[in-house]
């Protein structure tokens, strides 16, 4: 891919991704509309969310055509956030446990 001239891709590709994003958004709205509950609801929400995020970053933000040095510099650091999220989920569960033990009336 020629980078000096910038990222040039056919408009048709953007329209396809746009359509896909519409479909995925509708599907995630329908998850709520049909009152899906429990594991099915959460896994579908996360699946549609990650698909949409992937399409936006890969195509609209041109990440799939960038050199790997830039891709890794941007996409690897956020992995720390997953660790942070796991730590805070543990912490929140512990807080909830203590609140239930000592503040339940």
Partner 1 sequence: MNGAPTDKISHTLEPGWRGVIADWSSDRDAFKQVPWGKAMMWIFLLSDTFVFTCFLIGYMTVRISTTEPWPLPSEVFALEIAGHHLPLILIAIMTFVLITSSGTMAMAVNCGYRRDRRNAARLMLLTALLGAAFVGMQAFEWSKLISEGVRPWSNPMGAAQFGASFFMITGFHGLHVSAGVIYLLIVAAKVARGDYELAVADESAAAGGGAGNYQIVEIAGLYWHFVDLVWVFIFALFYLW
Please report, as ranges, the residues that interact with partner 1 according to CB under 8 A: 3-11, 14-15, 17-18, 21-22, 25, 28-29, 31-33, 35, 42, 45-46, 48-49, 52-53, 56-57, 59-62, 66-67, 69-70, 73-74, 77-78, 81, 84-85, 88-89, 91-93, 95-96, 99-100, 103-104
Question: Rounded to the nearest 10 degrees, what angle do helices 38-55 and 11-33 cross at?
Answer: 160
Write down the residue that tokens 């599907």 correspond to. Answer: 27
3-class SS at 8? coil
Beta carbons within 8 Å of 48's beta carbon, 6+ residues apart: 24, 25, 27, 28, 31
Closest contact distance (angstroms) between CB of 64 and partner 1 is 13
Minimum CB–partner distance for residue 41 and partner 1 (Å) = 8
């Amino acid at each position: 891919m020629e980078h000096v001239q910038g990222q040039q891709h056919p408009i048709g590709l953007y329209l396809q991704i746009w359509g896909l994003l519409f479909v995925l958004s509708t599907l995630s709205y329908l998850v709520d509309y049909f009152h899906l509950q429990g594991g099915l609801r959460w896994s579908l929400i996360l699946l549609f969310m990650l698909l949409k995020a992937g399409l936006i970053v890969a195509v609209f933000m041109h990440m799939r055509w960038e050199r790997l040095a830039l891709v890794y510099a941007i996409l690897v650091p956020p992995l720390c956030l997953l660790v942070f999220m796991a730590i805070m989920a543990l912490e929140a569960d512990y807080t909830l446990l203590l609140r239930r033990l000592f503040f339940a009336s």
